[in-house]
Structure 1
Amino acid sequence: MLRFVFWTLFVSILTFSFELFGQDTTKTSEIIRFRIETDPPGEKLRIRGNSLWSTDQIINFYTDRYFAEVWSKDGILTELAYELRFEIKQAQFDGLNPKDYNLSEIEPFFQSFESNKKNGIANNPGDLADLDLLLSDAFFHLASNLEIGKVDPSIIDKDWEISRKDPVFDYSELLSKAIEEGQVRQNLEMLYPKFSIYKKGREVIRVLVEEEKNDTLNWKKVKISKSIKVGESNNDIPVLRERLQYWGILDSYEFYDPKLYDSVMKNAVKDFQGLNGMEIDGVIGNMTVAAMNDSPQDRIDKARVNMERLRWLPDTVKNAEFILVNIANFQLDYIKNLDTLVSERVIVGKKYHESPIFMAEMSYIVFSPYWNIPYSITKSEIIPSVRKNANYISAKNMEVVTTSGKVVDPNTIDWTAKSFPYLVRQKPGPGNSLGLVKFMFPNKHNVYIHDTNARSLFANDDRARSHGCIRIQNPDVFAKVLLREDPTWTMEKIHESMNQTQEQVVKLNQNIPVVLVYLTFWADSKGKAHFREDIYDRDAPILAALEK
């Protein structure tokens, strides 16, 4: 309250001076100093009722430069001020909200100053000081959000266990550098994630925003009771055809029955399925319909969420070698020096057994592995099955062991007892649920990459079918790439090792980082957009946080 009284008195004196002498001789820098020095300790600096996000940085930054204004010179806004305003508006293409960066507060100043210029009126130093502080605050806030993201993943997404990267840049130094070089955009771009797909993603959002402005379609969600095959009629075909045409996948053409799913539309559906990572079969199933239900605004929102996820991730370096599993895309990529050595379809955790998001290092391979069955599965699945069928253990090629590894006859165990002080494991062989090989990167979740005996599942669009581990389609190919530096590991030797009766552990020459991520949107190196279904319903909380 006291500060408000001082400020009101100060402004009154300035106004009287302006009216009496026809000009205001008070320097903008003096008003900036006054605003900062009269700020109550421990409280956020407020400009015309609006709290600044970066009060501490503002105070230190302006104190170091003796309170000299940044965004105006001789009472006139500089080109840098207009450039920053432009970059604030461009933040929408980063998936951020320009209003977070004082846009609503600064726009009236720009309009007023432009009107003053037109009418030959000098800009009020108090207005210039307030705008200066608002713009600097916007720069610091935007810089932080671009470098490490707006949202703290540890609060919003409990399943995201990759540590949010630490800020590297000093934003005060960055702003000083931008002022010295006369380059706002160039210095803000330094904060972008080093992934090339980030800038490509910005361009996708830019296009989507333009498309959304002209969107006149009805995007009411289509629901189907069964898959639609070519030659069949369905009342929703006209709507789906219109959406394919909207996205430029299907050209206009003549048809005699608008409800008939014809061969021309089928080819477009196959193209759509390919773009969205589905089985390219031309059948309109639930996943195909779900993807076709996404409006331009839905896609903008999905892109915004994943641009934020990219800002959370630690930056890779040019010579990085790592294994990347995008859970939402059901795909594994082994990357070295930005070159993809192998790309494989995978099966991931189903709903309620979701694959976690984390990083670990792969250090060894186990050929012909035992499956040490987690106690949760033993309790929920194995024990109830044995109670129904006494021969279940032997039929599934399993054995019961003590915690010290001693094999126990399952017929000597009371399977109805409340406690079960044993472990169950499945012996190596073609019926083993882990398949014939597993790839180990020790972690607290006991999640790893492995083969599977249920190979038909790789043909499905929805491959969220496991208990959390990652099943890989061609494990022998993956093993060959991992062991490529040792010429003795031929494909023949790998197949022999995968079909033994005892485990064989092979240590890798070097540990390889494994990164499990969850991206429902990305843009590839050619700028092509890829969207995937949010199989774990993780996008909505992040979008809500971005909107706050």
Structure 2
Amino acid sequence: MKKYFFVWGMFALTAPGLAQTSHTDERISLEIRKVFEASEDQNFRLFENTYIHSPDLVLEFYSQRDFREAWIEDGKLTRHAYEFRYLVRRAKYDGLVPEDYHLPQIDDFFEAREKNERYGSAMELAAADIVLTDAFILYAGHLYSGKVDPEHAVSGWNIEKKSTDPKILKGLEDALAEGEIREHLEAFRPKFPVYQRMQRSLVRYYEKEKEITGTWNPISIRTAIKPNERHAAIPVIRERLLFWNELEVYEWTDKDLYDSLMLSGVQAFQQKNGLNPDGVIGSATVRALNKNPRDLIRQTAVNLERLRWLPDTILQEFILVNIANYSMDYIKNRDTLLHSNAIVGRAYRRTPVFNAPMTYLVFSPTWTVPPGILRNDVIPAVKKDPRYLASKNMRLLTHSGNEVDPYTLDWSSISASNFPYMVRQDPGPDNSLGLVKFMFPNRYNVYIHDTPARELFARDDRALSSGCIRIQKPFELAYLLLADQPLWTGERILMAMNSGREQKVSLRRQIPVIILYLTFWTAGDGTPMVRHDVYERDQDLYKLLTRKIASDGLLQKL
């Protein structure tokens, strides 16, 4: 059994001669107080390589209770201590790391007590009490607002943080006073029902990991496999579908034949992975099939962390865009009134993760080409052929609004750095914004809009835009948003969309728009929904999530 020893030089304590039997509360209380009085630095080291993570809050907690121990009674661990250790062990089902919460030290101390190796000195009991308190505070803080700072570069997260005080110390005091450790600790978790559903999925993935026998070799195909075709990869694909319970066990006559019974399993699997359920086994389907339970444990963990970052305000009406799901939902009174496929930013022109209030719509919009597209796309195209602007129904304008004839300019001397004009596309069916745009002013110049390229919504990979969000059902969204303005009937909305004249319509209330990046969630019926990490953010976030707690600025500060 690994032993953890006090670093004696860190404390000015009177340990010699202390009897190895149960001690009075006063002795343990005195030792708790001395830990904070005698520390020579701000690290508050208790054991070798064991530090108090939240010294200020731990000190405040004990100061409020006159340094009385919290987890020990008559020299013995209370049932609350045992219940809390059980909860720490299960931190992995929140996608967290139990060792962050002093689990090795807690286990070592509990094991020694249970084997009656020693009752422990007052100093040891005090240290154990502090470790349990520190673990509760840190665990509760991570449940409430996450372990990793959402503002870290790898997260790409710019949604406003929770503004409320979690009142962790009160939660701890109440938990101990009422004897309800689990209830009060779990109260710090996000209140979203999806969080609890995702936890259950994570438990299942841990269970599925135990079912793996042998190696999980990657499937590789050169061309897509269609139903009724034969392929050497079919036996392994069938095994994967059986493993994930997408197929019932059945007898097959040709092991390499993609038969009709497999087809339904493939389609169900594709549906859960956000793919077109056409039954064709292509690269995207194979990529999803190659994920093993450990991969999905990691994916679930990082998305539980993302949910912990979200503000805990319950919204009655909002628009939710999930970049990784290529989708937009309009939600009111907890009902999804509209679901629409969406197109989001390419990997190198990523749609940002943020929130902002939607305030107005624009029918038959013009499109002023943003600087990035102007620099990378439009100017190079015009330099090759000045007719490009007319072919796209675009006009060259000065910043005061005067039109300029592109044929009068020496384009060989013009570059993106010295370009003194604007390029604006007139309204019409070929306008890049389509027939309506939905505005929620923000520093990213990102908004939701229609598109003339309707065929792109049928693709599995819809990371195709320059950052803005194109939706498949713009009329339906406009109709719902203007439902409280009776003059805006469906007929009038259609007329405005096709008028060829730009028209702004203000909303009567601000509607929050939340743009998320979730690559995993669990649906209301318990179905796990797995999405491709199109921006490749999960791995970097998982590394931070599993990194040992350190004062390196990468992790949340309480």
Using a 3 Å threshold, how does the CA distance of structure 1 residues 261 and 217 change in structure 2: closer, same or farther? Answer: farther
Q: Deviation at 1:334?
A: 0.8
Using a 3 Å threshold, how does the CA distance of structure 1 residues 72 and 235 change in structure 2: closer, same or farther? Answer: same
* Distance in 1 separating the partners of 2:119 and 2:452: 79
1:90-119 deviations in whole A, cap 9, x for unaligned?
111110000000000110111111112xx8
* Distance in 1 separating the partners of 2:379 and 2:347: 23
Q: Deviation at 1:23?
A: 7.3
Q: Deviation at 1:475?
A: 0.7
| TM-score, normalization by structure 2 | 0.92
The alignment status of 1:36 with 2:33, answered yes or no, reads: no
Structure 2 matches for 1:79-158, cutoff 5 A?
79-116=79-116, 122-157=119-154
Using a 3 Å threshold, how does the CA distance of structure 1 residues 165 and 530 change in structure 2: closer, same or farther? Answer: same
* Distance in 2 separating the partners of 1:470 and 1:192: 31
The one-letter amino acid paired with 2:468 is C
The alignment status of 1:248 with 2:252, answered yes or no, reads: no
Match of 1:189 in 2: 186
Counterpart of 2:410 in 1: which secondary structure? coil
The one-letter amino acid paired with 2:8 is F
Counterpart of 1:461 in 2: which secondary structure? coil
Counterpart of 1:154 in 2: which secondary structure? coil
Using a 3 Å threshold, how does the CA distance of structure 1 residues 37 and 397 change in structure 2: closer, same or farther? Answer: same
* Distance in 2 separating the partners of 1:324 and 1:315: 15
| TM-score, normalization by structure 1 | 0.94
Match of 2:554 in 1: none
Match of 2:529 in 1: 530
Match of 1:337 in 2: 333
Match of 1:545 in 2: 544
Q: Deviation at 1:167?
A: 5.3
Match of 1:60 in 2: 60
1:403-429 deviations in whole A, cap 9, x for unaligned?
111112221122222332111111111
Q: Deviation at 1:534?
A: 0.2
The one-letter amino acid paired with 2:16 is S
Counterpart of 2:412 in 1: which secondary structure? coil
The alignment status of 1:13 with 2:5, answered yes or no, reads: no
The alignment status of 1:207 with 2:211, answered yes or no, reads: no
Contact 1:147 1:167 in 2 (8 A): no
The one-letter amino acid paired with 2:412 is T
* Distance in 2 separating the partners of 1:285 and 1:11: 69
Using a 3 Å threshold, how does the CA distance of structure 1 residues 260 and 76 change in structure 2: closer, same or farther? Answer: same
Query: Which residue, out of 370, 374, 378, partners 1:378?
Result: 374
Using a 3 Å threshold, how does the CA distance of structure 1 residues 534 and 356 change in structure 2: closer, same or farther? Answer: same
* Distance in 2 separating the partners of 1:452 and 1:469: 11
Match of 2:550 in 1: none
Q: Which structure 2 segments of 5+ residues have no match?
A: 1-5, 548-558
Contact 1:194 1:316 in 2 (8 A): no
Match of 2:27 in 1: 27
Contact 2:341 2:457 in 1 (8 A): yes
Match of 1:325 in 2: 321
* Distance in 2 separating the partners of 1:111 and 1:342: 55
Structure 2 matches for 1:516-527, cutoff 5 A?
516-527=515-526
Query: Which residue, out of 350, 355, 360, partners 2:356?
Result: 360
Q: Deviation at 1:33?
A: 2.5
Counterpart of 2:115 in 1: which secondary structure? helix
Q: Deviation at 1:380?
A: 2.0
Match of 1:404 in 2: 400
* Distance in 2 separating the partners of 1:512 and 1:157: 28
Match of 2:280 in 1: 283
Match of 2:474 in 1: 475
Match of 1:176 in 2: 173
Query: Which residue, out of 162, 167, 171, partners 1:165?
Result: 162
Q: Deviation at 1:253?
A: 1.5
Counterpart of 2:194 in 1: which secondary structure? helix
Match of 1:465 in 2: 464
The one-letter amino acid paired with 1:351 is A
Using a 3 Å threshold, how does the CA distance of structure 1 residues 48 and 379 change in structure 2: closer, same or farther? Answer: closer
The one-letter amino acid paired with 1:300 is I
Contact 2:7 2:48 in 1 (8 A): no
Contact 1:367 1:503 in 2 (8 A): yes
Structure 2 matches for 1:253-264, cutoff 5 A?
253-264=250-261
* Distance in 1 separating the partners of 2:368 and 2:27: 75
* Distance in 2 separating the partners of 1:49 and 1:159: 32
The alignment status of 1:74 with 2:70, answered yes or no, reads: no
Q: Deviation at 1:320?
A: 2.2
* Distance in 2 separating the partners of 1:125 and 1:143: 27
* Distance in 2 separating the partners of 1:235 and 1:98: 43
Match of 2:299 in 1: 302
Q: Deviation at 1:201?
A: 1.1
Match of 1:272 in 2: 269
The one-letter amino acid paired with 1:487 is P
* Distance in 1 separating the partners of 2:221 and 2:7: 64
Instruction: State how many pairs are aligned.
Output: 538
Counterpart of 2:500 in 1: which secondary structure? coil
Q: Deviation at 1:24?
A: 6.0
* Distance in 1 separating the partners of 2:297 and 2:22: 49
Match of 1:439 in 2: 438
Range that drifts further, 142-151 or 524-533: 524-533
Match of 2:514 in 1: 515
Range that drifts further, 507-516 or 3-12: 3-12
Counterpart of 1:507 in 2: which secondary structure? strand
Match of 1:369 in 2: 365
1:511-543 deviations in whole A, cap 9, x for unaligned?
111110000011123332111000000111110
Q: Deviation at 1:7?
A: 4.8
Counterpart of 2:92 in 1: which secondary structure? helix
Q: Deviation at 1:47?
A: 3.4
Percent of aligned pairs sharing the same letter: 45
1:317-366 deviations in whole A, cap 9, x for unaligned?
1x521100000001101111211111110000111011000111111111
